[in-house]
């Protein structure tokens, strides 16, 4: 198993895990871009969001539910947060295992760079 995030999900590589469930795991980004920067990932290997669709509605719902719950736990639910996923080189995806970035705790500009 070579995928970095699969290895974090399995516990083979340590991370600051903030949520662990049967389908979804969340852990702090190693290089945080905001006071709150958590990565929410499916436990099964999915390369990117482009692989998912209506057949994966339950998994997508759980990813969003965990992100929203963590936003509340991290205290950014009211101040606001960004939930984004990068797919492919132009978007800046560097790890080929689907992950949603939960970012919050500071004002963020738009559009992204």
- With CB under 5 to 8 Å by kind, the binding choice for 6 among Zn ion, ligand 5GP, none is Zn ion
Best CA proximity match to 46, nearest among 93, 112, 89, 104: 93
Phi-psi region of 11 (alpha: psi -120 to 50; beta: other; left: phi over 0): left
- With CB under 5 to 8 Å by kind, the binding choice for 29 among Zn ion, ligand 5GP, none is ligand 5GP
Best CA proximity match to 49, nearest among 103, 92, 86, 104: 86
Assess 29 for contact with ligand 5GP (CB under 6 A). yes
Kindly determine how many residues on this chain lie close enough to bind ligand 5GP according to the rule CB under 6 A.
Answer: 13
Q: Among residues 58 and 94, whose Cβ is nearest to ligand 5GP? A: 94
Q: Among residues 62 and 68, whose Cβ is nearest to Zn ion? A: 62
């Amino acid at each position: 198993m070579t995928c970095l995030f699969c290895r974090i999900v399995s516990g083979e590589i340590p991370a600051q895990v903030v949520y662990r469930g049967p389908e979804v795991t969340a852990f702090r980004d190693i290089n945080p871009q905001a006071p709150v920067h958590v990565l929410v990932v499916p436990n099964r290997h999915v390369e990117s969001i482009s692989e998912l669709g209506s057949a994966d509605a339950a998994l997508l719902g759980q990813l969003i539910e965990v992100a929203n719950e963590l936003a509340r736990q991290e205290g950014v639910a009211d101040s606001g947060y960004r939930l984004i996923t990068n797919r492919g080189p132009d978007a800046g995806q560097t790890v080929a295992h689907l992950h949603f970035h939960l970012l919050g705790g500071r004002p963020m500009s738009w559009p992204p760079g």
